[in-house]
Amino acid sequence: MKHFLLTWLGTAVALLITANVVPGFFVKNFIAALVAVVVIGLVNAFIRPILSILAFPVTLLTFGLFTFVINALTLWLASVLTPGYGFEIQGFLPAFVGSIVLTIVSSLISYFLRAIL
């Protein structure tokens, strides 16, 4: 349970940092980030596997680089599913850049949390 809460909080902080770095990527406040992380998790659990299976041939042809596009689509879909909650991504490019930045920042936060605890 402790690991889950730390991951949830760490990803919410990473989402806030990403919103401050990427133009067109907005998170209103920490509560909006917490809600967005839950929705992102649900999209990753239920919709991303379907997208990954459908995109498998393209992913093979691009040597896995198409995974970045799938990440961007899932992130954008999560923002579409949370209207009025303070999480908004304005287009594909902010979703694409935001998914890369979010991956890097959340990985760094996760690394530091594991080192501390």
**For residue range 18-55, what is the model confidence (pLDDT) as tens digits?**
999 999 999 999 999 999 999 999 999 999 999 999 99
Distance from C-alpha of 52 to C-alpha of 70, rounded to nearest angstrom: 7
pLDDT value, residue 117: 76
pLDDT score for 8: 93
What average pLDDT does the segment 94-114 reach? 95
Average pLDDT score, the chain: 95
Q: What is the pLDDT of residue 2?
A: 84
The confidence score (pLDDT) of residue 43 equals 97
| pTM, to two decimals | 0.92
Residues 6+ apart with CB under 8 A from 14: 102, 105, 106, 109
**Residue 60 φ/ψ region, left for φ over 0, alpha for ψ in the -120 to 50 degree band, beta for the rest:** alpha
Residues 31 and 40: their CA atoms lie apart, in Å, by: 14
Short-list 45, 36, 35, CA closest to 79: 36
